Structure 1
């Protein structure tokens, strides 16, 4: 299975592609989509660049599934809203290609990759390098994206089984029930 990991950001969105065959993982590609060419205050232009960048990555690498980081609420509500819009552009590009999208928190990714949810960026980079047998550590955004793909490779099957069995609540079902 080919998995695309996405670490959304308004200035830099990381992506990572890997092939998973059971427990065996093989690195395919990684990088960042930057929005520097758009003016800093031009949110629509930045979102368009993200959408087009994700579309280009999906066309080039043909993933079967995507794993995207869930936005956390941080101290600055404006930054959280902007990050949410960047994430929305990325998810929209993925679902426009009819890709299934799995979502993981940064804590879940760090726990899956580094063994604990409070791992520093450098620890995630080093573990991604080790797990994928890379000659050097990827940049922080690409490492997080590859970490999300690794998380899905390890947990995706279990999560799908739990959802199918009705053992997990999804955010959408919580909203339907009025919670």
Structure 2
């Protein structure tokens, strides 16, 4: 069995739970001492049409990438449930924007299978939502009470695990979640309908 090499420097992972109505994100820092939630929130890129929504989401993701300079971005593999094809299509649109923004920033994107994420965090590839939420809060030593943010954090944690970061609370972790990890939403500015700037 090959042992994963422990990183010698901090690695910053941006986990993204994409959607048209709400996109959760989590910025997690990892180093040899463990992991720490630096920031998290929900982007609500509401606009009158699909193009405007995707543009607003793109602008919000670009700001996150510039502000936090992650080493990698993590998203979940696309899954299409036969009963809800339109939901999968909406997520596919948002995932495309993630790839575009990350590519522009020169950041690699990891697409992770849900079973892998569950297995890494709980030891079971069939863990329920509640188990996952508890695992995220335990590993980050803070309460992450928004489902979108928790899903994004799970993806970022799994990506860091792949890079050899030990999944344990860093001594630098704060006892309470940083601003933005609760139900508070971050609104992305929709583009103007005509002329001028963004």
Specify which of 90, 99, 104 is matched with residue 82 of structure 1: 90
- Structure 1 or 2: more helix by fraction: 1
Task: Kindly indicate whether the alpha-carbon contact (under 8 Å) linking 1:122 and 1:140 is maintained by their aligned counterparts in 2.
Answer: no
Q: Of the two structures, which has the highest relative contact order with CA contacts closer than 8 Å and spacing of 6 or more? A: 2
- Structure 1 equivalent of residue 144 of structure 2: 137
2:144 aligns to what SS in structure 1? Answer: coil
- Structure 2 equivalent of residue 49 of structure 1: 56
Post-superposition shift, 1:23?
A: 5.8
> Matched residues in 1 for 2:33 and 2:129: separation?
24
Q: Please list every run of 5 or more consecutive structure 1 residues that lacks an aligned counterpart in the other structure.
A: 159-179
Match status 1:115 vs 2:123: yes
Post-superposition shift, 1:56?
A: 1.1
Q: Please list every run of 5 or more consecutive structure 2 residues that lacks an aligned counterpart in the other structure.
A: 1-10, 166-198
Task: Kindly indicate whether the alpha-carbon contact (under 8 Å) linking 1:125 and 1:139 is maintained by their aligned counterparts in 2.
Answer: no
Specify which of 135, 150, 157 is matched with residue 150 of structure 1: 157
Post-superposition shift, 1:155?
A: 1.8
Post-superposition shift, 1:5?
A: 0.7
> Matched residues in 2 for 1:77 and 1:120: separation?
23
Give the TM-score normalised by the residue count of structure 1. 0.80
Give the TM-score normalised by the residue count of structure 2. 0.72
> Matched residues in 2 for 1:137 and 1:115: separation?
20
How many pairs are equivalent? 154
Task: Kindly indicate whether the alpha-carbon contact (under 8 Å) linking 1:16 and 1:142 is maintained by their aligned counterparts in 2.
Answer: yes
How well do the aligned residues superpose, as a CA RMSD in angstroms?
1.7
Match status 1:33 vs 2:43: yes
**Shift >4 Å, 4+ stretches:** none
- Structure 2 equivalent of residue 6 of structure 1: 16
Q: Deviations over 1:115-164 (max 9, x none)?
A: 22232222222111110111x23311111111111001112459xxxxxx
Specify which of 47, 58, 70 is matched with residue 63 of structure 1: 70
